[in-house]
Structure 1
Amino acid sequence: MALAAPSTDPAVLIAQETSDEYTFRSFTAETAWTLGVALRERLLSLPQGQRKPALISISLTNGQVVFQCATEPGTVLDNETWVRRKRNTVLRWGVSSWAMRMKMAAGLGGVGVAAADEVEATFVKKFTLVSSNGGAVADDYCIHGGGYPVRVRGVEGLVAIVVVSGLKQEDDHAVVVETVREVVAAQGE
């Protein structure tokens, strides 16, 4: 079954990410395994037009990777770079990398109005992502879909970050959202 297109409204995205429907009851190494395997199975079930080799990575906020795998042959080293940059974005701003992209696009008139390079440039400028010595701090962050915050009921802040890299960015985001919702629902009340 194909993935549904994610919202492009940053307020809707952030409300969704912080809702009970997407907040885990607990999050352990076993939960990470369950989520990671569910993501892999969902990615492998995508129709031909959406399915591509992808890298799945789940890490705690302290940087410890608790699950990582490629879905199938064809991922490249660049997928790991995207994982790192998406993870950093979620850690720094506490929202999904897709929500950050939509926030930047909204400030430029919306997704259909702003060009992709304009959205990226606005992100770099707004958050001063150029170091004082002229280095490219922007290389440490990106606002492409696929990085997603893991929240646990009763715990302040983020507990972990889930990242998918390999599909179109909106599909990277959509598959994580869909799978997180399913795994949270399976945890019950």
Structure 2
Amino acid sequence: MTDTTPYPLTNPPTDLSAISQIDSSILFPSFTTTDAWVLGNLLRSRLSTYASPSVISITLANTTPLFYTAVSPGITPDNTFWVARKSATVLRFGCSTWYMHNKFQGDEKAFAEKYSLQERAKEYAIHGGGFPVRVKGVEGVVAVIVVSGLKQQQDHQVIVQTCRDFLDGVGEGEEKRKED
């Protein structure tokens, strides 16, 4: 019998400094195709406890796909569109889409005006679920993790919690966060 209880998620903070601290504290020792595979499958396992169909995408900063899967039947082409938009936001601004959502209080018009996006505004999303992958000793974002399908705060938080658990499993978890 399968456990149908959703993977428990804490609520992510909405304070920008707290979100920024989380974004920068999740630091991988390296990020290989094997890491992406293991992390993607861990995310898939956790997301499969939810009834909502969702998508997981992990790509390098140069957009090379490392992991992509649908979780549960019922995804639509719209999920793929959200993945692309969330990924573009992480790559352009170097932070999670949850940070950008809270920075603009969800106001997409203010976001588009601030960055003079005009017609290109549709290429970006300021909804939780896009997260930067950073590697110790490497400047900038090396990859992007995107989850699309749950409520945006859940999309964000499942990534954060899963990355932390993954890093705990490779010896870079709680001890590393205490050092930072």
Using the size of structure 1 for normalisation, the TM-score is: 0.85
Residues of 2 paired with 1:144 and 1:17: CA distance? Answer: 15
- 1:1-47 CA-partner distances (Å, limit 9, x unpaired): 4311111011111111111xx1111100000001100000011124x
Residues of 2 paired with 1:184 and 1:159: CA distance? Answer: 16
Partner residue in 1 for 2:74 = 74
Residues of 1 paired with 2:16 and 2:72: CA distance? Answer: 32
Partner residue in 1 for 2:31 = 27
Q: What aligned pairs does 1:115-130 form with structure 2 within 5 A after superposition?
A: 116=106, 119-130=107-118
- The residue identity in structure 2 corresponding to 1:89 is T
Partner residue in 2 for 1:54 = 54
Alignment check: 8 A CA contact 1:90 1:97 kept: yes
Kindly, what percent of the aligned residue pairs are identical? 47
Moved over 6 A (4+): none
Residues of 2 paired with 1:65 and 1:25: CA distance? Answer: 20
Residues of 2 paired with 1:150 and 1:90: CA distance? Answer: 10
Among 94, 111, 124, the alignment partner of 1:141 is 124
Q: CA RMSD in A?
A: 1.0
Partner residue in 1 for 2:96 = 96
Using the size of structure 2 for normalisation, the TM-score is: 0.89
Give the aligned length: 166
Alignment check: 8 A CA contact 1:54 1:71 kept: yes
| Consecutive unaligned residues in structure 2, runs of 5 or more | 1-6, 173-180
| Consecutive unaligned residues in structure 1, runs of 5 or more | 106-115, 131-135
Residues of 2 paired with 1:175 and 1:158: CA distance? Answer: 19
Q: How far is 1:148 from its partner?
A: 0.2
- 1:152-172 CA-partner distances (Å, limit 9, x unpaired): 111111110000001111110
Residues of 2 paired with 1:2 and 1:157: CA distance? Answer: 31
Partner residue in 2 for 1:112 = none
Residues of 2 paired with 1:141 and 1:85: CA distance? Answer: 4
